[in-house]
């Protein structure tokens, strides 16, 4: 038998909003050092942690084709230990597990005068209480070889303000087994695309 949703999608007795929480997609290889490098766009993933079946989750993936500055999803890399915020001086510090990872990040991040660090499992930013992702706009990098840390001046930015207004955003909703990340057939997915300029189209 196929997966039956915990709640019906229609009908007054079962009408309710579902809140999807940030997560790491099971298909992402968090050991890949390429995830330490800033990119123009990112795919950010969300899931329902209260699904009826532990192995099956409802996922929503938000594919941002371009941010206004290059971005790094810190949650996608296992080479990052944690992030530390210092609200009194508006700085953020990223700690690394190895000097190799630290060096890869330093060489890439120093080429971007402004960038976004995106995270949800940290102690920083607007998401620490709401459970949403925090978007840290960073500049003026300082790197410490001895501590394996990289620090920035930091400003919190809402996600909608970080996305380039003239680029597409696509939302893909799907249900699959957490431990079986094979892609589903296209008919199993719902898509919503925000066209550049604000128009929306779904398929």
Q: Per-domain residue ranges for the chain?
A: 12-202
pLDDT, position 59: 77
Give the residues across from 73 on adjacent strands. Answer: 118
Provide the pLDDT for residue 171: 83
Segment 34-63 shows an average pLDDT of: 81
**Mean pLDDT computed over 50-59:** 64
Say if residue 24's pLDDT is above 70: yes
The overall average pLDDT reported for the chain is 77
- Name which residue leads in pLDDT, 6 or 48: 48
Beta strands 71-73 and 115-119 are parallel
Judge if pTM exceeds 0.85. Answer: no
What confidence tier does 149 reach under pLDDT thresholds 50, 70, 90? very high
**What count of Cα atoms within 13 Å lies in the side-chain half-sphere of residue 101?**
21
Tokens 């990119």 correspond to 39
pLDDT average, residue stretch 119-123 = 69
């Amino acid at each position: 038998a196929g997966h039956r949703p915990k709640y019906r999608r229609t009908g007054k007795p079962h009408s309710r909003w579902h809140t999807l929480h940030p997560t790491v997609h099971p298909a992402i290889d968090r050991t890949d050092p390429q995830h330490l490098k800033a990119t123009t766009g990112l795919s950010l993933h969300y899931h329902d942690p209260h699904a009826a079946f532990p192995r099956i989750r409802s996922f929503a993936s938000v594919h941002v084709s371009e941010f206004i500055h290059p971005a790094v999803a810190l949650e996608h890399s296992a080479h990052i230990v944690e992030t530390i915020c210092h609200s009194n001086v508006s700085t953020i510090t990223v700690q690394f597990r190895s000097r190799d990872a630290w060096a890869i990040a330093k060489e890439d991040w120093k080429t971007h005068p402004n960038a976004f660090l995106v995270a949800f499992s940290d102690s920083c930013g607007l998401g620490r209480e709401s459970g949403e992702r925090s978007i840290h706009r960073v500049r003026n990098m300082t790197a410490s070889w001895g501590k394996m840390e990289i620090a920035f001046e930091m400003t919190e930015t809402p996600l909608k303000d970080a996305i380039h207004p003239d680029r597409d955003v696509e939302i893909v909703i799907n249900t699959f087994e957490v431990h079986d990340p094979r892609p589903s057939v296209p008919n199993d997915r719902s898509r919503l695309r925000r066209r550049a300029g604000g128009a929306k189209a779904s398929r």
